[in-house]
Amino acid sequence: MAWPFPIEEGHVLAFTRATGEQAPAPGDVVPLTFAALTALHDPGHMRDMPPGGPPATGGETLLHAEQHFEYFAPLRVGAKTSVTERPGESWTKTSRRGEQLTFTELIKELRDDRGELVVRARTVLVSKASAGAVPDAPPP
């Protein structure tokens, strides 16, 4: 599935306010990690989230372990890109504390309006059963 990811000036401004940077002007190159912010335009993002917040994870903690970007062309404010997403590899490992860790990869590619690859982003997530985790409380 592909969805549009316009590089909007206001979205970039919101990002740079969070990071304390000067916002780039239209036509300028966006900060290096901005390509990860595709969720804003992802039609499936948070679509099924209940009113009480994100669903309980059943005692499992999901964390962001690694992030990788490859840049094939500069990504500029005002560009019209589209995003495709696919799963990458998955593997398991036992931590030094004996926890079973499951790693999963997610690969996103941003292409410009001519179909040329601009950025490839690879996310590695790790999930582990956490003894301290508790299910979400029901909404009040």
Partner 1 sequence: MTGPVVAVGDSRELVVCDEITRTQIAQYAGASGDFSELHTDEPHAIAAGQPKLMAHGMLTMALTAKVLTGWFGAVAARSFSARFVAPVWPGDRLTATATVVSLDRRDDGSYAALVSVDTANQLGDVVLRGRAVMTID
Report if residue 32 touches partner 1, rule: CB under 8 A: yes
How far apart, in whole angstroms, are the C-alpha atoms of residue 31 and residue 45? 23
Position 25 contacts partner 1 (CB under 8 A)? no
Closest CA to 7 of 28, 20, 116: 28
Compute CA 51 distance to the chain's CA centroid, rounded to the nearest angstrom: 22
45 touches partner 1 (CB under 8 A): yes
Does 69 engage in binding with partner 1 (CB under 8 A)? yes
Please, what is the minimum distance in Å from the beta carbon of residue 14 to partner 1? Answer: 4
List of residues 6+ apart from 127 with CB closer than 8 A = 60, 61, 62, 63, 101, 102, 104
Q: Is 30 a residue that touches partner 1 (CB under 8 A)?
A: yes
**Positions that interact with partner 1 (CB under 8 A):** 11, 14-15, 17-21, 24, 29-34, 36-37, 39-40, 42, 45-46, 53-54, 61-71, 74, 130-134, 136
